[in-house]
C-alpha cells in the first residue's frame, strides 16, 4: 500500500510540475552574457556597435556601478517559422555591471537583453512568443557581434 501511495504522489507531483510549466507565458526578454570590458573601452564601443547594427540609442542610464543603453524599438522581419505572426519588433538593452576592481580600471560584466514582441493581427496587442529556431539564428548574429568585441579578453590587456 505504501509503494502505491508513493507512486501516486510522485505522479501527481510530476503532473503538477508539467502543468505549471505549460501554462506559463513566455518572457519577452532574453539575456545573453557578452563578455567583460573596462569603462574606457565599452563607453565608445557600445554606441558605435548599436549604430552599425541599425539601432538608435533612446537613453543611457548611469550609476557608479551600472550603465545601461536602451535602444528605440524597431521592426524586425517576421521569420518563416513564426506561424501566424503579422508584425515583429525588437528592442535591445546593453547592461554593464561593475564586477571587480583593477589597477588599470574597473572591470564590468557586459550583458545584452533582447525584447522581442509580435502581433498576430494589426489591431492586436504586442505580445511575447517562445523563440523559434529561425529567431534564435537571427539573434545569434547580434549576440556574436557583441561577443566578438567583449568576449575575447584581449581588450583587457591594453
Q: What share of the chain is helix, strand, coil (3-state, %, to 5)?
A: 35, 35, 30
Answering whether pTM is above 0.95, one says no
pLDDT of the residue at 14: 45
| pLDDT one-digit tens code per residue, 1-50 | 555 544 444 444 444 444 444 457 788 899 999 999 999 889 999 999 99
- Specify the long-range contacts of residues 127-130, CB closer than 8 Å, at least 24 apart: 127/28, 128/25, 128/26, 128/27, 128/28, 129/26, 129/82, 129/85, 130/26
CA dist 149 and 41 (Å) reads: 10
| pLDDT one-digit tens code per residue, 136-154 | 999 999 999 999 988 755 5
| pLDDT one-digit tens code per residue, 37-80 | 999 889 999 999 999 999 999 999 999 999 999 999 999 999 99
pLDDT of the residue at 61: 97
CA dist 9 and 15 (Å) reads: 10
Domain ranges of the chain: 25-157
CA angle 78, 29, 131 (to 5 degrees): 40
pLDDT of the residue at 97: 96
CA dist 143 and 136 (Å) reads: 10
Q: How confident is the model at residue 129 (pLDDT cuts 50, 70, 90)?
A: confident
pLDDT of the residue at 102: 79
Say which CATH architecture domain 25-157 belongs to: 2-Layer Sandwich (3.30)
Amino acid at each position: 500500500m505504501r509503494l502505491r501511495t508513493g507512486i501516486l504522489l510522485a505522479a501527481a507531483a510530476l503532473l503538477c510540475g508539467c502543468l505549471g510549466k505549460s501554462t506559463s507565458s513566455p518572457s519577452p526578454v532574453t539575456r545573453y552574457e557578452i563578455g567583460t570590458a573596462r569603462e574606457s573601452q565599452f563607453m565608445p564601443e557600445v554606441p558605435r556597435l548599436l549604430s552599425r547594427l541599425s539601432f538608435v540609442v533612446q537613453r543611457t542610464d548611469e550609476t557608479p556601478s551600472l550603465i545601461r543603453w536602451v535602444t528605440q524599438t524597431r521592426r524586425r522581419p517576421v521569420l518563416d517559422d513564426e506561424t501566424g505572426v503579422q508584425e515583429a519588433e525588437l528592442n535591445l538593452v546593453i547592461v554593464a555591471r561593475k564586477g571587480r576592481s583593477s589597477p588599470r580600471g574597473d572591470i564590468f560584466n557586459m550583458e545584452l537583453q533582447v525584447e522581442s514582441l509580435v502581433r498576430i493581427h494589426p489591431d492586436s496587442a504586442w505580445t511575447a512568443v517562445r523563440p523559434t529556431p529561425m529567431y534564435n539564428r537571427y539573434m545569434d548574429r547580434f549576440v556574436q557581434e557583441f561577443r566578438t568585441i567583449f568576449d575575447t579578453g584581449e581588450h583587457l590587456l591594453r
